[in-house]
Structure formats: structure tokens, C-alpha cells
Amino acid sequence: MPATKKKPGKLKRLLNGFIIGNADNDPAGVSTYTITGAQTGFSLVLFHILSTPLLINSQAICARIGDVTKKGLASVIRLYYGLPLAVSVTVLVAVANIFTLGADFAGVAAALHLIFPGINIWVFLPLLAGLLWYIIVFKTYPVLARVLAGMGIIFLSYIATAVLVRPDWLELAKNVFLPQIEFTPNFWLVAVAMLGTTITPFLFYWQVTEEVEDHPSVRDVKTEIGQVSWGLIFSNLTSTFIIITSALTLFKYGVKVQSAADAALVLQPLAGNLAALLFAIGLIGSGILAIPVLTSTTAYTVAETFNWRSGLNRKVNQAKGFYAVLTLSFFVGLAIALMKVNPIKILFYSQVVNGVITPFILALILKLASKEVIMNRHVIGKKQKFLGWLTVLVMLAAAIGSLVSPS
């Protein structure tokens, strides 16, 4: 990422928000939202909409930590809680990220095969992965940022797909705002996965790192989140339409799917070829956008934990450990996708893992952001604390509900 000390402009802040928000809708996330709509209909749509302020608040707290401390999240955890806890958290985040990477590569491969059924995906996917790896490692962050921002436009395809399904908007509004809640383990397991793919650890770490690398002044603390929140709102808007599309087609006709790629295939007879094509294109774009963010976040997290030099604008020989972790996580994720493991197990359960570990990591972040010794006079206020702890409790409640609810 850029190492310049110049104050970031408004356009760049908006661009960062767009990247962060859209990285949240990776293929694993798209598949999870698809499964959410297919299995629960409209029951969780309102729940997902209401998660938007919780997501924005969580990212705002992370932004504040980066602005004030000028250190990455893993560095702050190591400095104030010690190396053992920092390593434990880093291992959890890295493992979750790598499995999510595997899910994302698998999602891109499946979508490519739908659009180009004649290609050998076992050859084409490694070639595409190699190109992505080259851009991440050997091109500067501004180049990477332009690529990521350009791919983000593709997310409009999900909104277009929902429109092509031709819903009854009044009936849709009724189903969304008067949801039918089921007290079953599967319902709450889907809720855990949905929350885990919306409010996720890798976004926490990426947000803090963005603030550190951009070198904003502390007085920007109260205004910077307004410039990135629009990206998060756009992210949740598109994912809401993914759930709605799935509910209007797959749930309505009782179709069982195992991934977003399956959904794109099923959409052909239910909503037409164009809807299916747009859905598949969105899946490919989401993977190309999210994979660099996931690999970079993993590398930053490990490097900060062990106090290694890091940065996407550094040469490989200037940050060998950082780029070694980035490369290892990248190709381990690719290997997982090529192992022909059941895609639903990677795509869905990687997000369940995120849903389980996120409340614990967020609780740690809230404690850090409340300490004057860390934040000086910029500790988080009562509103941010309330929303932060509410997020923790909601995610824990969903996880517990998936275990104790009657079948």
C-alpha cells in the first residue's frame, strides 16, 4: 500500500471504502447469501439489512485504532496483550482467510466454467491465479487499487439480476419486513454464516492497515468513516439483492443448491439466460476483487505479529517474510480449490468459522479501543461501545442458537 505521508484525498478515501465494501462480497460470501435465500427465503433479509450499521460501526472502530496508534491491528494486540495472544489470534485469522481463499478460487472456477464450458478449468484457473499473484507482488498498490475498483462495478450485476426476476415489490416488502423466524439449528447456522461473511475479521485488519498506510491525521477520526461507509452500504445493498434473488427463485421452487455457481446455472430456466450470465459475471468479479485483499491481509497480520517489515509498495527483497506469507497463503488457497473438495463445505463452513471467531476478535478490538493508554483522548464513545457489544452479543446468540435450538 502507499507509503506516502501526504494526507489522503477524498476521492482516494472513497475508493478505499469501495474496495473494502466490495471485498466483503467475495465468492464465499455470495455463495453464503445465495444459500441464505435458498434455505430461509426472506426470513433473514431484514436481519441482514439491520447488520449494516453494525458493520459500519465495527469498521469505524478499526479505522480509529489505525488513525490513533499508527500501527496495524496485530501489532497493537502484540504490544498490549503480549505475543502468545497475538499469535493465537493471528493463527485463527490466517486459517479462516486461507480457507476463504480456497472457497473464492473454487467459486471463480465454477463461474468461469459456466460461462466458458469448453475451457479446461484446471489449466485456466492456475494461469489466472498466476496473473493475479504477479499484479499483487510486482505492481504498486495504486495499480492494484485501480484493478480492484474496476472489478467492483461488476457488483451492479447482482442488482440487475434481482430486477430481471421481476418480483412483486409490494409482496416482497411484506415478506422482508414481516419475516417468519424459525427456531431450528439449521436456521441459526445459516444466520451465523451470513453474519460471519458480512462482519468478518479480515476486514477489521484491512481497515486498520489502510488507515496506517494512508497516514491520516487524528482529527480525521470523526469524518473518515463517512467516506468509507458508503462502500459498506453498497456492499450490503448488493448482498441483500443476492438473498432476495435466491429467495424469489430457488426458495420459491424448492431448488437445492450448494453454491452460487449452482444458483447461476439454475437461474437460466427460472429467470432467463441474461440473469444467469450476470450472476456468474458478478461471482468472477467478486473473486478477482477479494483474493488480493485476503492474501494481503493474511501477510500483513503475520508480519505485524512478528514485527517483520511489510508493505505492498516495498520490493520483495525489502519484505521477504511478508511476501513469503502472501505467496504461501495465495497458493495454499489455490490448492484447496483444486482438490475437488465439496464446494459447499468450503464455501459455507468457512463463513461459519468466521461467524464463530468474529465476536471474540471484535470483543478484543472493543477493549483496545476503550483504553486511554492506547487511544489517549480518542477512546470510542458510548454509542460505538453499545453498537460494538451489541454486535458481539448478536453473533454469539446466533452461534449458540445453532447449537441448542430444537430440531
Asked if residue 7 is part of any domain, the answer here is: no
Q: Distance of CA 397 to CAs 40, 248, 355, 357, 403, Å?
A: 18, 28, 11, 13, 10
Report d(CA 31, CA 405) in Å as an integer: 24
Residue 351: closest CA among 97, 78, 3, 143: 97
Report d(CA 178, CA 311) in Å as an integer: 47
φ, ψ at 75 (rounded to 5°):
-65, -40
Report d(CA 315, CA 295) in Å as an integer: 17
Asked if residue 1 is part of any domain, the answer here is: no
Asked if residue 357 is part of any domain, the answer here is: yes
pTM more than 0.85: yes
Helix (H/G/I), strand (E/B), else coil: 314: coil
Asked if residue 70 is part of any domain, the answer here is: yes
pLDDT of the chain, 407 residues: tens digit per residue: 444 445 555 666 666 666 777 777 788 888 889 889 989 999 999 999 999 999 999 999 998 999 899 999 999 999 999 999 999 999 999 998 998 898 889 888 888 888 888 888 888 889 989 988 998 888 765 666 666 666 666 777 778 878 887 888 898 899 899 888 887 888 888 999 899 889 999 899 988 988 887 666 665 556 656 767 888 898 899 999 989 988 988 888 887 776 666 676 666 665 667 777 877 888 888 888 888 889 999 999 999 999 999 988 788 999 999 999 999 999 999 998 888 666 666 767 778 888 889 999 999 999 999 999 999 888 999 999 999 999 999 999 888 877 765 55
What lies within 8 Å, CB to CB, of 193 at 6+ separation is 32, 35, 36, 348, 349, 351, 352, 355
Domain of 39 in residue numbering reads as 13-404
Asked if residue 91 is part of any domain, the answer here is: yes
How many domains does one find in the chain?
1
Residues 234, 26 contacting (CB under 8 angstroms): no
Burial 351-360 (b: 16+ CB within 10 A, else e): bbbbbbbbbe
Asked if residue 391 is part of any domain, the answer here is: yes
Asked if residue 4 is part of any domain, the answer here is: no
Asked if residue 140 is part of any domain, the answer here is: yes
CATH number of the CATH domain containing 336 = 1.20.1740.10
